Chain A
Amino acid sequence: MADAFLTTQRTWLGQKLALGEEAVSEVSRHVMEVYREPLRIYFRGMAGKGRDDADDVVQGFFSDRLSRPDFLPAWQKSGLPLRRWLMNAFCFYMQERRRQEKRDRRGLGEDGVPEIADPSPSADVAMDRAYAVSLVRLALETTRAECAAAGLGDHWRIFVRHHLEGRPYADLASALGVTPERASIMARTVRRRFARTLEAFFDREGLDPERAQREIRSLLEVIPW
Chain B
Amino acid sequence: MVSKPLDDEPDGLPRLDDATVRRFLELGLAGPRRPVDDLVERLERHDGESWMQAVLEKGPPGLHGPATDLLVSGMATLEQLVSIKEKSKGLLRRDRETDVRLAGMLSYFLAIAAALVHHGAQISGRSREELTPVLLDLASATPSPWCELLAGAAG
A51 at the interface (CB under 8 A from B): no
Give the contact stretch, choosing among A22-30, A58-66, A88-96, A134-142. Answer: A134-142
How near does chain A come to B115, taking the closest CB pair, in angstroms?
19
B147 at the interface (CB under 8 A from A): yes
Give the contact stretch, choosing among A4-12, A68-76, A102-110, A217-225. Answer: A217-225
Q: A154-B6, A164-B20 provided; 10 other pairs, C-beta below 8 A?
A: A136-B24, A154-B5, A160-B13, A177-B1, A179-B1, A188-B137, A195-B27, A223-B18, A223-B22, A225-B19
> Nearest residue in A to B22 (C-beta to C-beta)?
A223
Cα A160 to Cα B150 with chains together (Å): 24
Cα A163 to Cα B29 with chains together (Å): 15
Residue from B6, B25, B137, B139 in contact with A219 in the complex, judged by beta carbons closer than 8 Å: B25
Residue from A163, A189, A217, A224 in contact with B18 in the complex, judged by beta carbons closer than 8 Å: A224
Q: Which A residues are CB-close (under 8 A) to B30? A: 195, 209, 213
Dominant SS at the A interface?
helix
For residues 117 through 163 of chain A, which have their beta carbon under 8 Å from a beta carbon of chain B? 129, 132-133, 136-137, 139-141, 144, 153-154, 157-158, 160-161, 163
> Nearest residue in B to A181 (C-beta to C-beta)?
B151
A216 at the interface (CB under 8 A from B): yes
CB contact under 8 A between A178 and B24, given known A185-B151, A192-B140, A213-B29: no
CB contact under 8 A between A188 and B140, given known A176-B4, A216-B28: yes
B40→A192 contact, CB < 8 A = yes
Q: Which B residues are CB-close (under 8 A) to A184? A: 136
A82 at the interface (CB under 8 A from B): no
For residues 8 through 23 of chain B, which have their beta carbon under 8 Å from a beta carbon of chain A? 9, 13-14, 16, 18-23
Q: Which B residues are CB-close (under 8 A) to A185? A: 136, 139-140, 147, 151
How near does chain B come to A72, taking the closest CB pair, in angstroms?
24
CB contact under 8 A between A223 and B25, given known A141-B13, A153-B5: yes
B27→A199 contact, CB < 8 A = no
B141→A178 contact, CB < 8 A = no
B136→A132 contact, CB < 8 A = no
A44 at the interface (CB under 8 A from B): no
B28→A195 contact, CB < 8 A = yes
> Nearest residue in A to B26 (C-beta to C-beta)?
A220
Q: Which of A136, A157, A177, A198 has the most CB of B within 10 A?
A: A136
A172 at the interface (CB under 8 A from B): yes
Cα A186 to Cα B151 with chains together (Å): 11
